[in-house]
A = this chain, B = another copy of it.
Amino acid sequence: MSSHAARKKIGQQTSYLQYSPTIKGTGTVVGPKEGNGPLAINFHEITQDELLGMSSWEQAESEFLYRACQHALGNAKLDLNQIDYLFSGDLLNQTVSSNLVAKKLQIPYFGLFGACSTMAEGLLLSSIMVDGGMASNVLTATSSHNKGLERQFRFPTEYGGQRPPYAQWTVSGGGAAIISHQGNGPYVSYVTPGKVMDWGVSDAYDLGSAMAPAAYDTLKQHLSDTGQNVTDYDMIVTGDLGIQGTTMFKELCENDGINVQDNHYDCGVMIFDSNQDVHAGASGCACSAVVTYSYIYNLFQNNKINRALVMATGALHNPQIVQQNITIPTICHAVALEQQKIGDSNG
């Protein structure tokens, strides 16, 4: 399929970034429950007030996102006027959390919708903008809010409805990163945007099972496109498959001869302790963003890992199509992060 013109494309779905765009700085802000979890030490800000002083859950989510962007700017030591573009998206209807942040920041804005895969979609497109010479520094961000999104997708939490054991807990938080043409890594080397998968799940609580086939499909494609093995990565990091989805993902991989037993990690499993009563782990756009841009990023900064494949997963339904008996479409985008530059210098 790739012609002469698509010189950076390898295989069916993957692009190779030749100028080593780098994550120059990150910002993560979470709510009190996430701040009581095992990754707490990594987050840049933990708020005890899940409303952040705002008057609605929607505005609170937008504030999580805004603060994450501010932390990323500070940590990258860049001013807002040095940022060329913003890529942002979230799960609120019409991605209003992102739209309101874009209004505050006053930089050119690309709105994304990838549900919980938005972190990887934004990271991927930002890296392409930098690699393609359209930008020096790109800000990418995403957010979710437990209270606003449970109300929008299922029931208001105040209703106190029973959650099934396979339900995941929507993370309250925001995560942001700045992708730059120069910096000290980690570097983005390969990006593999995913296809939409739908294996027939219609239960809007069972998103781990719905998304597992998408993660499996993208991982398989990524390895095939790049000629790599799972063991070429120190970590294969999925976004928010949760406990049930992780089990299914591992089975799908194993049945296909892909052994991920030793180096697979799921952000939705890692962010909460088993005693925090979240049932099958975490989900939400912020889940993979706050884990990748804090804990995983720190592993690179501290030279603990050399290569990670970040694969954020998303469920692309809304309540209306679920009510109309349409099964849940899902997607997974993969981004390879490297401790060392590979490819050409970007001097």
Contacts and interface: CB of A to CB of B under 8 A. Distances in A.
Interface of A: 1-9, 13, 15, 19, 55-56, 58-59, 81-82, 84-85, 89, 91-96, 98-100, 102-103, 106-115, 121, 125, 128-136, 181-182, 192-198, 316-321, 324, 326, 329, 331, 346-347
A321 B319 CA distance: 19
Copies in the complex: 2
A194 B108 contact: yes
Contacts of A196: 99, 102-103, 106, 109
Contacts of A198: 103
Given A100-B329, A102-B195, A193-B85, A6 B55 contact: no
A329 B99 contact: yes
Contact of A135 (B6, B92, B130, B317): B6
A132 B131 CA distance: 8
Nearest to A21: B5
A132 B129 CA distance: 8
B113 A112 contact: yes
Contacts of A347: 4
A189 B136 CA distance: 20
A13 B108 contact: yes
Contacts of A114: 110-111
A111 to B, nearest CB: 4
Contacts of A4: 181, 347
Contacts of A15: 134
